[in-house]
Amino acid sequence: MADVLSVGVNLEAFAQAISAIQALRSSVSRVFDCLKDGMRNKETLEGREKAFIAHFQDNLHSVNRDLNELERLSNLVGKPSENHPLHNSGLLSLDPVQDKTPLYSQLLQAYKWSNKLQYHAGLASGLLNQQSLKRSANQMGVSAKRRPKAQPTTLVLPPQYVDDVISRIDRMFPEMTIHLSRPNGTSAMLLVTLGKVLKVIVVMRSLFIDRTIVKGYNENVYTEDGKLDIWSKSNYQVFQKVTDHATTALLHYQLPQMPDVVVRSFMTWLRSYIKLFQAPCQRCGKFLQDGLPPTWRDFRTLEAFHDTCRQ
């Protein structure tokens, strides 16, 4: 509290100002009382009017006097709220029951946090703007008017076009087989089998990839009623890790104007897992780290790294 006092609050003037306010309020209410009571009984009408006007004048004068007094005191009180970085909320620190209501310290904490958040968000948006391939960068680069136009066109691609893109990718990679189905209307689902290494379930929305789940070659990918099981995860830690990385890859490969390029890039990246169990880590040279093989594949070079060895 000491530092708040030093900001320049004149406590005595403050107390006087409060009593000045009280005085002002009572004189104002006297004015209204006088008006309410109206003219009192006097012998003559003239006498009655004179007495009423004199009384009313007195009351207005005292209102005027009290108002002047309050203005004078308010100058003495100073303006502590403007000097404080938290403005009026800084006055919370004057609350004598600090222990019961730690509102002020919480407020300071929140203030620091929001400051930091703003700073980091600024840095992040600067970095993202430099990466032209990312979804956010594109949407930020494109003007707000153009964006809603671009999205719907790629979302209403005819199924035939999607089929063509997928079958072209299927022919591109001999060790990869892609089975396309549409169990829920127009959205396609892919079951990608990569050699004898893994299976990937890919849920599409038009040509956008919405979700992927990676499972082992010998794991079941169907539910009991014979549909692709898009919810349950692999029993093996290695494929759970690869699923996480594939989800990261979906966010990395984004080019809203050319969704077919995105799907092809993603599949090319996915194909590098054909050597999931055969490629040692390019950084530490080992196969295993904490019981897991190198599960990360670099987005550009497709080199194998352990999750903790990549940079």
Partner 1 sequence: MGGGAESDSDVTEGPRHALPRGRVDWALCFYVSSGAPASIRALFSEVVSPRVGCWSTPHFSCLILPSSWPDTMGVTCVSQMPVAEGKSVQQTVELLTRKLEMLGAEKQGTFCVDCETYHTAASTLGSQGQAGKLMYVMHNSEYPLSCFALFENGPCLVADTNFDVLMVKLKGFFQSAKASKIETRGTRYQYCDFLVKVGTVTMGPSARGISVEVEYGPCVVASDCWSLLLEFLQSFLGSHTPGAPAVFGNRHDAVYSPADTMVQYMELFNKIRKQQQILWMGRDLERTSSLSCNFSQYPT
Q: Given the rule CB under 5 A, which residues bind Zn ion? A: 281, 283-284, 306, 309
For partner 1, the closer CB: 111 or 277? 277
The rounded distance, in Å, linking the Cα atoms of 179 and 26 is 86
Contact 189, 231 (CB under 8 A): no
DSSP structure class, residue 243: H
For partner 1, the closer CB: 134 or 199? 199
Which of Zn ion, partner 1, none has residue 208 at its interface (CB below 5 to 8 Å by kind)?
none
Report in angstroms how near the CB of residue 295 gets to partner 1 at its nearest. 11
Which of partner 1, Zn ion, none has residue 281 at its interface (CB below 5 to 8 Å by kind)?
Zn ion
Among candidate residues 60, 68, 77, the one with its CA nearest the CA of residue 17: 77
Which of partner 1, Zn ion, none has residue 224 at its interface (CB below 5 to 8 Å by kind)?
none
For partner 1, the closer CB: 238 or 255? 238
The alpha carbon of 83 is separated from its chain's Cα centroid by a whole number of angstroms, namely: 31
Report in angstroms how near the CB of residue 238 gets to partner 1 at its nearest. 5
For partner 1, the closer CB: 165 or 276? 276
Report in angstroms how near the CB of residue 214 gets to partner 1 at its nearest. 10
Please give the residues from 233 up to 272 whose contact with partner 1 meets the rule CB under 8 A. 235-239
Q: Are strands 187-194 and 208-216 parallel, antiparallel or unpaired?
A: unpaired
For partner 1, the closer CB: 254 or 295? 295
- How many of the other CB atoms lie within 10 Å of CB of 24? 19
For partner 1, the closer CB: 119 or 277? 277
Q: Which residues pair with 194 in a beta bridge?
A: 176, 198
Q: Which of 6, 130, 160, 218 binds partner 1 (CB under 8 A)?
A: 218
User: Measuring CA to CA, how many Å separate 18 from each of 11, 70, 74, 253?
Assistant: 11, 8, 10, 66
Check binding of 225 to partner 1 (CB under 8 A).
no
Contact 187, 203 (CB under 8 A): yes
Contact 253, 269 (CB under 8 A): yes
For partner 1, the closer CB: 104 or 239? 239
Question: What's the angle, vertex CA 167, arms to CA 164 and CA 172, rounded to 5?
Answer: 125
Check binding of 100 to partner 1 (CB under 8 A).
no
For partner 1, the closer CB: 199 or 264? 199
The rounded distance, in Å, linking the Cα atoms of 295 and 197 is 13
Cα atoms in the 13 Å half-sphere on the side-chain side of 274: 14
Please give the residues from 178 up to 207 whose contact with partner 1 meets the rule CB under 8 A. 196-197
Report in angstroms how near the CB of residue 237 gets to partner 1 at its nearest. 5
Inter-axis angle of helices 259-271 and 237-252, to 10 degrees? 150
Contact 9, 18 (CB under 8 A): no
- How many of the other CB atoms lie within 10 Å of CB of 241? 18
Report in angstroms how near the CB of residue 299 gets to Zn ion at its nearest. 17
Please give the residues from 278 up to 307 whose contact with partner 1 meets the rule CB under 8 A. 278, 280, 286-288, 290-293
Which of Zn ion, partner 1, none has residue 306 at its interface (CB below 5 to 8 Å by kind)?
Zn ion
| Residue ranges in contact with partner 1 by CB under 8 A | 196-197, 216-218, 235-239, 277-278, 280, 286-288, 290-293
